[in-house]
């Protein structure tokens, strides 16, 4: 399923991170109901997004365009305005037309009580089918890619899938982890899961920009969303390759020895009570790397299609998201006043002003809808809004299948309150994932919540 907790040369100063974005700002009028009137006082309803994970929904859609059509209609009837279609799952293979990434022919998934390969035998363009059927149903269609992945190591003896396993020339693109036993390529990581690419590698960056350009070339696609645009799941242990070392040394203008222990001791997963100046520089280097790539990707998308919306998904747990090498906040948000690990330059590398929209995973448990802190849905929304500082519209919401208390279903009665809370404290609603709505039959529960919200809008 998904979600555990996604260079420039020295001559490009960190302060460059604070420069303005692409210049393409989100126009909320796309979501304004067309009732034939010209009332300038009409309140514009906030958008409602539902994510469609590739693997989790593959049995329904991978080979069946009719099912895509049927479910797009039902999604729209339920009151959602947008779908976010995963077209590059964690294997790194793609469900759209690409000249650089392999086409998806199989994907690992649970089917009943078995973990199996699901084969794709259909020849229709998966993304194009969603664009056409989604638009016919009145939905906006956004394509998401798992950005920094190149393959997947499957559990239960299923094996491997993805370009880093099949193409030896791409092994240099993989992240190198600073583990207790030494520097280890993620290809040799003993754990199962996605194999990540190194964001600081020039070849990886060009590859990602090509994928973005290919998506933007879909004439009628409404938006592009980067998912997992971050360092790998080993957190502070990634990435200590020679490529990153060289880029970091150029960035700070001096050599770093011994490597990597001068930055972090092998196996370091958490910051200590005292954070060194070099460690702050390293953390800033990582967020600058991601910031610069996001900025380049936004520009690339708009070069190809000036009207397309560009955004990212991130986890709303900002207080620990530095481990992933991501500062998703507005550059006006002074994180240094809250977090001792932030350097003076860290703030400037917030990338929110380079986006048209952003999605915050407010992945609190089923019993944590209300509150003012992280790990409550309301708190995630409010804190996220403060950190984004109106630099970009954001939609937030829960994982209704994997989150604590949601795993066994039976939570339909909570959905209206979740809709009310998340949409009241953000610029839109975001729900992960469609498969859970279908599995636990939450259709009517979400319709009830969305209808109640729209009633308040219409009465204003």
Find, among 252, 354, 243, 345, the residue nearest to 300 by Cα: 354
Q: Return the half-sphere exposure (C-beta side, CA atoms, 13 A cut-off) of residue 72.
A: 24
Q: Which pLDDT score is estimated for 42?
A: 55
- Give the span between the Cα atoms of 126 and 123, in whole angstroms: 8
- Give the span between the Cα atoms of 71 and 433, in whole angstroms: 13
- Give the span between the Cα atoms of 31 and 43, in whole angstroms: 11
Find, among 171, 231, 177, 227, the residue nearest to 200 by Cα: 231
Tokens of 51: 């994510």
- Say if CB 152 and CB 85 are below 8 A apart: no
- Say if CB 459 and CB 80 are below 8 A apart: no
- Say if CB 366 and CB 351 are below 8 A apart: no
Q: What is the pTM of this model?
A: 0.92
Q: What would you measure as the largest C-alpha separation in the chain, in angstroms?
A: 69
User: Cα dist. 233→175, 186, 379 in Å?
Assistant: 11, 10, 24
Burial 326-346 (b: 16+ CB within 10 A, else e): bbbbbbbbebeeebeebbebb
Q: Which pLDDT score is estimated for 20?
A: 34
Q: What's the CA dihedral at 100, 106, 109, 112 to 10 degrees?
A: 160
pLDDT of 9 higher than 50: no
Residue 450's SS3 state is helix
Domain ranges, ordered by start, for the chain:
14-458
Average pLDDT, the chain: 92
Please provide the size of the chain in residues: 460
Residue 300's SS3 state is helix
pLDDT of 40 higher than 80: no
Q: Which pLDDT score is estimated for 460?
A: 79
- Give the span between the Cα atoms of 68 and 443, in whole angstroms: 16
pLDDT of 398 higher than 70: yes
Which residue matches tokens 């269609």? 141
- 188-192, 355-359, 393-397, 428-432 — which is least confidently predicted? 188-192
pLDDT average, residue stretch 82-86:
98
**What class has domain 14-458?**
alpha beta
- Say if CB 398 and CB 418 are below 8 A apart: yes
């Amino acid at each position: 399923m998904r979600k555990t907790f996604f260079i420039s040369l020295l001559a490009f100063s960190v302060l460059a991170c604070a420069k303005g974005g692409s210049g393409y700002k989100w126009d909320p009028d796309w979501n304004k109901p067309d009732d034939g009137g010209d009332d300038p006082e009409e309140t514009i309803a906030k958008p409602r997004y539902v994510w469609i994970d590739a693997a989790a929904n593959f049995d329904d859609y991978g080979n069946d365009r009719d099912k895509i059509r049927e479910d797009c209609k039902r999604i729209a009837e339920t009151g959602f305005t947008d779908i976010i279609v995963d077209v590059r799952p964690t294997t790194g293979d793609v469900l759209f037309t690409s000249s650089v990434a392999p086409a998806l022919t199989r994907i690992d998934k649970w089917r009943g009580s078995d973990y199996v390969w699901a084969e794709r035998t259909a020849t229709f363009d998966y993304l194009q089918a969603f664009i056409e059927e989604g638009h016919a149903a009145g939905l906006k269609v956004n394509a998401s890619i798992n950005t920094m992945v190149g393959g997947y190591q499957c559990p239960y003896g299923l094996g491997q899938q993805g370009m880093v396993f099949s193409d030896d020339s791409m092994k240099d693109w993989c992240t190198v982890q600073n583990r207790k036993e030494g520097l280890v390529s993620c290809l040799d990581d003993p754990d199962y899961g996605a194999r990540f690419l190194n964001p600081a590698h020039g070849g990886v960056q060009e590859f990602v920009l090509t994928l973005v350009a290919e998506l933007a070339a879909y004439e009628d696609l409404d938006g592009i969303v980067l998912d997992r645009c971050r360092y790998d799941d080993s957190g502070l242990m990634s990435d200590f390759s020679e490529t990153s070392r060289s880029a970091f040394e150029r960035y700070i203008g001096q050599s770093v020895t011994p490597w990597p222990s001068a930055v972090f001791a092998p196996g370091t997963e958490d910051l200590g009570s005292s954070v060194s100046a070099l460690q702050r520089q390293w953390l800033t280097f990582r967020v600058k790397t991601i910031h610069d790539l996001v900025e380049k990707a936004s520009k690339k998308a708009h070069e190809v299609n000036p009207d397309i919306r560009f955004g990212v998904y991130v986890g709303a747990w900002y207080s620990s998201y530095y481990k992933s090498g991501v500062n998703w906040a507005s550059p006006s948000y002074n994180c240094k006043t809250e977090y001792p690990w932030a350097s003076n330059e860290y703030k400037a590398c917030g990338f929110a002003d380079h986006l048209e929209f952003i999605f915050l995973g407010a992945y609190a448990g089923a019993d944590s809808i209300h509150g003012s802190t992280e790990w409550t849905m309301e708190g995630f929304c409010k804190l996220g809004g403060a950190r984004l500082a109106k630099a970009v519209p954001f939609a937030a919401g829960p994982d209704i299948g994997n989150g604590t208390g949601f795993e066994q279903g039976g939570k339909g009665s909570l959905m209206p309150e979740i809709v009310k809370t998340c949409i009241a404290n953000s610029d839109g609603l975001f729900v992960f994932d469609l498969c859970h709505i279908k599995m636990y039959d939450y259709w009517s529960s979400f319709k009830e919540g969305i209808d109640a919200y729209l009633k308040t809008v219409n009465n204003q």
